Structure 1
Amino acid sequence: MKVNVGGIDRVLRIVVGIALIALTLAGTIGAWGWIGVVPLATGLFRICPAYSLIGVNTCPLKKS
């Protein structure tokens, strides 16, 4: 698969994912906070299946 997550989008996904997981581990929010694994994984791997379905790409174009 081609990467489709880049720049600020990637950083925000990683930060939000880590924050949700940390809040869950601290007991501040319920078990639904484990959903933070999804944005964390999409940020780390730079691939978002939902973006692929709707045709969004936040990665800058690479010049050859």
Structure 2
Amino acid sequence: MEANVGKTDKMIRIAAGVLLLSLAFVGPKTPWGFIGVVPLVTAFINFCPAYKLLGVNTCGK
């Protein structure tokens, strides 16, 4: 797995993941908030399968 998630993209994914997870615990307490795990995992492993399929790479050389 070659990294395809850059620094800025990683920060946005972490923020979005935390925000979505907060919906499961603090906000309306909906189970849909657990979808926030996906951007968190992709941020921490620096790889996004959707980016691979689309040929996108935000990671610098």
Percent of aligned positions that are identical: 49
| Pairing of 1:6-25 with structure 2 (within 5 A) | 6-25=6-25
Give the AA of the match of 2:60. Answer: P
- Displaced runs of 4+ in structure 1, greater than 6 A? none
Aligned length: 61
Give the AA of the match of 2:17. Answer: G
Alignment correspondent of 1:36: 36
TM-score (norm 2): 0.91
User: Structure 1: which 5+ residue stretches go unaligned?
Assistant: none
User: Structure 2: which 5+ residue stretches go unaligned?
Assistant: none
TM-score (norm 1): 0.87
Q: Offset of 1:39 from its aligned partner?
A: 0.4
Larger radius of gyration: 1
